[in-house]
Amino acid sequence: MLNAGIGEGQPTVRPPFFDGTNYSYWKERMRIFVQSNDLKIWLAIKNGDSLPMKKIGDTLIPKDEDEYDEADFKKAQLNATAINFLYCAVNANDYQKISRCQTANQMWNKLVITYEVLLSHLQKVSHVKWVTDGERNLGYFHSVVKNRRRKLYIHRIQDDHGQWVMERAAIATQAITFFQAMFTADPSVTASALDMIPRLVTDDDNARLCAVPEMEEVKTAVFAMDSRSAAGPDGFTGAFYKAAWTIICMDLLVMKIITKIMVVRLASVLPRLLSPHQSGFVAGRSITDNILLAQELCHGMQVDNEDVILKLDMMKAYDRVSWYFLMSVLRRFGFSENWIDLVYRAISNIWYSVIINGIREGFFHSMRGLQQGDPLSPSLFILSAEVLSRSLARLYADPIVAHFTQPRDAPHIHHLAYADDIVIFTSARGDTLERVRAVLRSYEQISGQAVSLRKSAFYMHPKALAPVLERVRDTLGCSLDVFSFTYLGCPIYHGWKRIHYFEPILKKMRDKCCAWMGRYLSPWGKAIMIKSVLQAIPTHLLAAHFPPKTVIREMESIMARFFWSGLGGTRRYHWGSWKTLARPTREGGVGFLDFMTLAKSCSAKLWWNFRTQDTIWTAFMRAKYCSRVHPVSKQRVNDDSHTWKRMLDVRAVVEPVIRWRVLSGTSNFWWDTWSGLGALHRQVDGCSGYWTDGVGDMYRSDFMIDHDALPPDLLRQFRLEPPSLVSDLVDIPVWTPSTDGKFTLASAKELLRPRRNDEVEDIVLKKCWQKHLPYKMSFLAWRVLERRLPTDDVLARFGFALPSRLRSALSIWWAQRPRSRMLSFLFHRLPMIIRSEIWTHYAACKYGDARPNFARIIFRVATAMSECIYRRWPSGGLLPSRWSVIMEHVRRGSGRRRVVPIRWVPPPGGTIKVNVARAPLRGAFAAIVRDSTGKFLYALSSIAFRWEPVERGGMDVLLRCIQWCISQSFLRIQVESHHSELACFFREGTPWYFHDVYARLRFLCSIVTVQWFHCDVRANAPTTELALWAVDSKEGTREFTNLQDLDIRVRSLLPMDDLPFFRIDEDGGNP
């Protein structure tokens, strides 16, 4: 057996072993390993020639060994050495694949075809997109594909006469006949059948829809394509169009790109065309609103009103849409003939074949239906479904028709639709059900749709009388079902929230964890699957429902059992509870999701939407619960719905962090947080929820309030700082936990999550999760540091007391400060790598057949370290697994030290410079203005209000300085500061508390030329000293136009700006 040395005088090791997974890493390691031994061997593997050949006539045949010359012997010997390298590196299965090859180059190409080409193909066929590179293996993808094909295999079908057909040809005939009939029928449409559709599309809309696409539109559509999607008729995937964009951009004519552009343009028109009861595929509308509304209506249904909930099941909804009906609907809405022609050409050229057990059968043209998967189909479908929505709206506009029980002044909800998922809310009183059934029949006749009465069902109050139930069943023609029912993936129930309502979501999680695919995941892959797949399953449910705590605990138990389980799903000891695993990594956790925190965060999102948005759900909830009082003052009642109760549970935490930016003064003066002092009702005893005074009303009436109602100092602050009211703009809500002021679920989770008692970050645990470090090494380091491995010190809890000084030793290690940045990069990651390799080798020796080999541990640590360096600096290539080469690379990459002079640099001629600084750890800012000669022109100091963010004071100082410069006719301004946060107004995405001053600064910057520069703190010493003086003097805001008015400490520092400071700098990247 071949052994290749890693250096003179060092023990020998085998080539890097390939176990069938993680091929890309092994390929790169193999290249480095072979090149470090002999470059000729690598060339023989990568680009090697065939065996020595001889020519007989026009045919080449291998030479016999007795015919070899010296060059042939060298070639054959080099090929044999290369073959031996590969034999020592592969497992038994791969050995069988490459053993028939004659040359090392053929073996290498065989591996490439097996693990690159075939792997890429299987990943596309399996449609698995969540697996990372570390889990890309053939066994897993083969299993996914085989399982999908097994489920799709057709053994037999039942014909129209109820007879079972088992022959493949007969099965194909039945399938082709069925689909040809379904895609052929085309009902007619009369003009009066669509008189409920108004003309809403304007000429300007049609002009924008039919305009010639801009190049940027085409590029956006191309780069929005999935790179791993199935290839089209031309054989090209989305990855090809992206890679070859610069070449093909002028000659691109692909139908799926045209339909993508049409969808984007149509999206701007749809919200005006569709009724609010439709929420699918419309910008600004949420699927969660439909679920919440359905649950609220079920909560309020009454037996006396004979309320009926009708859940419809549409048969083959997309496939049955009539093209003639769709074109008629588009004309009624006012779409131009050019646009209608574009739509018709996009949907009409469709041909189908039926695949029966992998064999294509038949070929026929479709006469109706929308192709599923086409980006244009959902938009066209909801446009056609608008006929049903407006027909029901016209029906319930008749006062004779009985309505479903709803709150007074609430928007009337007669149905909810999300594409083909339709729920109708009606009443059984009078002839209402007959009229609803007539509307459905009319819609079926003109649209081609068909309601499956066998799968549809109706629901009534549990105490409804039997004669009423029988009458409803006879009228509707569908069966009675009992609560709960599933709507848009969530349970809709009446009465108590029971555990078995949420059993389907638990079963789905169990199936994901316990199915066969889990056997192909490594322990590190399980963590990836939990974060990417399992945690996403209940997210949709938690957005609409707050399940019982038992259900949440079961969700976490399912994932904990899966995470700690052994091979084949065997149960093993749980070394950490889910509560521990769900902590952030900086607090000793792994970073998994705490479902209780997620549920509360979703409740916070509901409260945010309720307080800030104007949707059909928020209007319904305001009418039901807050018709006469402010939401903040609304008291909890036992009869409230579960949704409203979960919102009230987080109100005390969420409402104080919602701040209103006053524009027109529509915010409530007493109950909304708008002044920076919190909600003012806390300052007044006996404040009533009926006090609905707006901020604008109070200011316009010149504070016509009782002076005894508020403390005098608060009244003085209102008079001194009145808001700038703009009559045509409503007040803007700001989510203060996020920087940009917009609500995010991540910021809500950070606000509501449980914290450790000490709330102190552990520097040792923080260092475990370094970037560019393999996850398995970080996870093992966490287990060691948290004492969640069966080591000697951990076994002391089971009766074996042995001391451990690991944490103290690591604290001393990480407390060191390496001199260079690249050395610091190596310094911070080396303990986790060493720990991982020692543990792997220890387990192999204790539970396997391996023997202790310190040289192999050193080699594997060097290999992992070179891979980390390659991930951080890929341009340098992958280093050999030799510590001498690695340390030499670190030494060369550390850069040279250089002395950098630091001084205040005057601006060029005709330009003035504004230096801005903040007092360290204080709320004071100052600015000094000087010209190109260094002459003092102007200075300003200010102390920020205690309720405002500290950075806001710096922005105000900067704004006033620029205003002064403009008043003095200085049109070229340089702004310099050592506080990077002050540069935010020069870029997009400013924090929410800068929006008003940001708008004014942007306006001033349009008048003059303003440039931003960052400087060292020592080059900004006079301005910093002026800010410190402002803190000591407590004079508030003060302007200085004369140099002698400045404090002596500031005046003494100004002449010293010409004297440089010196800083020792070092080149190199960040660790």
> How much is the pLDDT for 182?
82
How are the residues of the chain apportioned to helix, strand and coil, as percentages rounded to the nearest 5? 50, 10, 35
Give the pLDDT of residue 792: 64
In this prediction, residues 350-370 reach a mean pLDDT of 85
What is the percentage of the chain residues whose pLDDT exceeds 70?
A: 80
Q: What is the mean pLDDT of the chain?
A: 81
pLDDT tens across 650-700, in order? 999 999 999 988 887 888 888 888 877 777 777 766 666 556 677 777 665
User: Does 104 have pLDDT greater than 50?
Assistant: yes
> What does the pLDDT read at residue 45?
80
Three-state SS at 523: helix
Give pLDDT, residue 793: 65
pLDDT of residue 761: 60
Location of structure tokens 């244009």: 376
Per-residue pLDDT at 132: 47
* pLDDT digit string, tens, across residues 729-740: 788 899 989 888
Half-sphere exposure of 700 (CA within 13 A, CB side): 11
The pLDDT, as a whole number, for residue 1069 is 43
Residue 518 has pLDDT above 60, yes or no: no
Higher local confidence (pLDDT), 139 or 343:
343
* pLDDT confidence tier of residue 523, bands split at 50, 70 and 90: low
Choose among 588, 600, 595: nearest CA to 560.
595
> In this structure, are residues 639 and 625 in contact, taking their beta carbons and an 8 Å threshold?
no
Calculate mean pLDDT across residues 931-939.
91
- Cα–Cα–Cα angle for 995, 998, 1003, rounded to 5 degrees: 130
pLDDT digits (tens, 9 = 90+) for 976-1027: 988 776 665 555 556 666 667 777 777 888 788 888 888 888 888 899 899 8
Per-residue model confidence as pLDDT tens digits over 550-580: 999 999 999 888 888 876 667 777 888 888 8
Tell me the pLDDT tens digit for each residue of 179-238.
888 887 666 667 678 889 999 999 999 999 999 999 998 988 888 887 777 666 677 778
Q: 761 vs 208, 648, 808, CA distance in Å?
A: 55, 32, 16
CA distance 187 to 178: 18
With a CB cutoff of 8 Å and minimum separation 6, the contacts of 200 are: 272, 273, 333, 334
pLDDT at position 473 is 94
pLDDT band at 475 (very low <50, low <70, confident <90, very high): very high
What pLDDT is attached to residue 84?
81
Query: What pLDDT digit, counting tens, does each position of 527-546 carry?
Result: 878 888 888 899 999 999 99
Residue 1011, amino acid: Q
| pLDDT at residue 263 is higher than 90 | yes
| Distance separating alpha carbons of residues 512 and 1010, to the nearest angstrom | 57
Query: CA 374, 375, 378, 384 torsion: positive or negative?
Result: negative
Nearest-Å Rg of the Cα atoms of the chain is 36
Hunting for tokens 């094909």 — which residue is that? 149
Q: What is the pLDDT of residue 252?
A: 78
Of the ranges 452-461, 519-528, 710-719, the best mean pLDDT one = 452-461
Domains of the chain and CATH, by start? 4-126 (no CATH), 191-201+269-492 (no CATH), 499-593 (no CATH), 599-752 (no CATH), 763-894 (no CATH), 900-1066 (3.30.420.10)
Which residues, in sequence order, are CB contacts of 68 under 8 Å at separation 6+?
52, 76
Give yes or no for residue 336 having a pLDDT over 50. yes
pTM: 0.74
Per-residue burial over 706-715, b if 16 or more Cβ lie within 10 Å, else e, is: eeeebeeeee
Q: What is the mean pLDDT of residues 1051-1063?
A: 77
> Which residue did the predictor score with more confidence, 526 or 326?
326
Determine the pLDDT at residue 49.
Answer: 63
